[in-house]
């Protein structure tokens, strides 16, 4: 079996490649990544020279490159992780989000259709459903929840989802979509909350919490997300959307406190800073459909996943030190000041 994995030098894509290689002996994986600020070849360390692995530096919006690669590799499936992914950056500058997250998906699907690729999987997000109120814990996102986006990032992902479903209906295009809650684990770019707080805590720097810290996210260990996508590729029904979530809702402030405890640093490092514009209050997924149809359940308890994650950042300093000493410094200074 040959898979093309786009965005494989990023957080979830790289973990997915490793999960698939250990779960399926003999699988060939072709990783396509533009290596934007978020993509990092050192994330693929140990894989680049591996047999049955190929890395191609390319943009998913480059029709000629995508078409030629698909013609050459004849993949059994294309799994699309490539995206601009950070909400705060989408608030600063939405344009690149529309280009990659919408036009890139259209380009990939056109090339898959052109060459008759048997399966396309779009990795989407629960953020397409907008948010839920904090005082209604009974409400959860199901696959039937209407699309109602808050950020330019979420809107770009929702636009792509609608396009994928339109291709399924109009052309009989064999695609599936997964909408996952917040992931955490090794190799997550330090602009996202969990790695940012771990890295700052390790360096005794202030820990920025937006607003009151009451906002709730449903956190899932990255390997559990990867297993779910593997199952969807094997047994998911084309044209269907699958929600993926951990039944693991946490307030941001509680996650930050847990990190302080895990790293052995005082909570006095916590700083409440200006809130994110349009900040979604609560995300919560109902994963009943993927459980019922594909037998998927999350395997990693939050405390265990966080212990592994903190441990990874403690033991892989060179990975993130290279990032935080480069271009990322300018973004950090713009967002949080020089501190």
- Using CB under 6 A as the binding rule, whether residue 176 contacts ligand TYD is answered as no
Please identify which of the residues 33, 59, 84, 153 carries the catalytic annotation.
153
What three-state secondary structure class fits 127? helix
Please identify which of the residues 59, 127, 218, 224 carries the catalytic annotation.
127
List, in order, residues 6 or more apart from 293 with CB less than 8 Å away. 235, 236, 237, 242
* Binding-site member from 31, 123, 209, 227 for ligand NAD (CB under 6 A): 123
What tokens appear for 8 in the block? Answer: 């494989």
Q: Between the CA of residue 116 and those of 71, 78, 172, what are the distances in Å?
A: 10, 11, 11
Least Å distance, CB 167 to ligand TYD, is 26
What tokens appear for 125 in the block? Answer: 């997000």
Can you say how many angstroms the Cα of residue 184 is from the centroid of all Cα atoms in its chain? 9
Closest to 7 (Cα-Cα) out of 111, 148, 140, 122: 122
Would residue 127 show up in a list of annotated catalytic residues for this protein? yes
Residues between 56 and 115 with contacts to ligand TYD, criterion CB under 6 A: 87
Q: Which is nearer to ligand TYD, 196 or 263 (CB)?
A: 196
C-alpha–C-alpha distance, residues 167 and 102, integer Å: 13
Would residue 280 show up in a list of annotated catalytic residues for this protein? no
Q: Which stretch binds ligand TYD (CB under 6 A): 189-197, 229-237, 263-271, 285-293?
A: 189-197
What tokens appear for 192 in the block? Answer: 């996202």
Q: What is the DSSP string of 51-114?
A: TTEEEEE--TT-HHHHHHHHHHH--SEEEE------HHHHHH--HHHHIIIIIHHHHHHHHHHH
Task: Write the binding mask 274 to 313 for ligand NAD: x where contact by CB under 6 A, - elsewhere.
Answer: ----------------------------------------
What tokens appear for 24 in the block? Answer: 């399926």
- Using CB under 6 A as the binding rule, whether residue 186 contacts ligand NAD is answered as no
Residues between 257 and 296 with contacts to ligand TYD, criterion CB under 6 A: 276
- 281 makes contact, choosing from ligand TYD, ligand NAD, none, with CB < 5 to 8 Å by partner type, with none
- Using CB under 6 A as the binding rule, whether residue 196 contacts ligand TYD is answered as yes
Residues in the chain: 339
* Binding-site member from 90, 100, 215, 243 for ligand NAD (CB under 6 A): 100
C-alpha–C-alpha distance, residues 38 and 45, integer Å: 16
Residues between 199 and 218 with contacts to ligand TYD, criterion CB under 6 A: 208-210, 215, 217
- Using CB under 6 A as the binding rule, whether residue 7 contacts ligand NAD is answered as yes
Active site (catalytic) residues: 126-127, 153
Residues that bind ligand TYD (CB under 6 A): 87, 182, 192-193, 196, 208-210, 215, 217, 252, 276
Binding site residues, ligand NAD, CB under 6 A? 6-7, 9-13, 33-36, 38-39, 59-61, 81-85, 100, 104, 123, 125, 157, 180, 182-183, 189
């Amino acid at each position: 079996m040959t898979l093309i994995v786009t965005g494989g030098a990023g957080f979830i894509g790289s973990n997915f490649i490793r999960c698939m290689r250990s779960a399926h002996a003999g699988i060939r994986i072709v990783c396509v990544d533009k290596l934007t600020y978020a993509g990092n070849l050192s994330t693929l360390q140990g894989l680049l020279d591996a047999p049955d692995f190929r890395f191609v530096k390319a943009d998913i919006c480059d029709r000629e490159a995508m078409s030629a690669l698909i013609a050459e590799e004849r993949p059994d499936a294309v799994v699309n992780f490539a995206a601009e992914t950070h909400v705060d950056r989408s608030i600063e500058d939405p344009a690149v989000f529309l280009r990659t997250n919408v036009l890139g998906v259209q380009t990939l699907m056109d090339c898959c259709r052109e060459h008759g690729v048997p399966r396309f999987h779009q990795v989407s997000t629960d953020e397409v459903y907008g948010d839920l109120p904090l005082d209604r814990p009974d409400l959860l996102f199901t696959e039937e929840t209407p699309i109602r986006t808050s950020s330019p990032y979420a809107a770009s992902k929702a636009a792509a989802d609608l396009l994928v479903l339109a291709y399924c209906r109009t052309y009989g295009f064999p695609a599936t979509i997964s909408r996952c809650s917040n992931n955490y684990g090794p190799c997550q770019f330090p602009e996202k909350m969990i790695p940012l707080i771990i890295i700052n805590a390790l360096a005794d720097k202030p820990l920025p919490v937006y607003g009151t810290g009451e906002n709730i996210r449903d956190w899932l260990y990255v390997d559990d997300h990867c297993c779910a996508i593997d199952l969807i590729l094997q047994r998911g029904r084309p044209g269907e959307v699958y929600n993926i979530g951990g039944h693991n809702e946490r307030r941001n402030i509680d996650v930050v406190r847990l990190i302080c405890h895990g790293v052995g640093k005082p909570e006095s490092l916590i700083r409440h800073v200006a809130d994110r514009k349009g900040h979604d209050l609560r995300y919560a997924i109902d994963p009943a459909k993927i459980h019922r149809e594909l037998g998927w359940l999350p395997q990693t308890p939050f405390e265990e996943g966080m212990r592994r994650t903190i441990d990874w950042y403690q033991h892989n300093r060179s990975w993130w030190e290279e990032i935080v000493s480069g271009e990322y410094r300018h973004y950090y200074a713009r967002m949080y000041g020089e501190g």
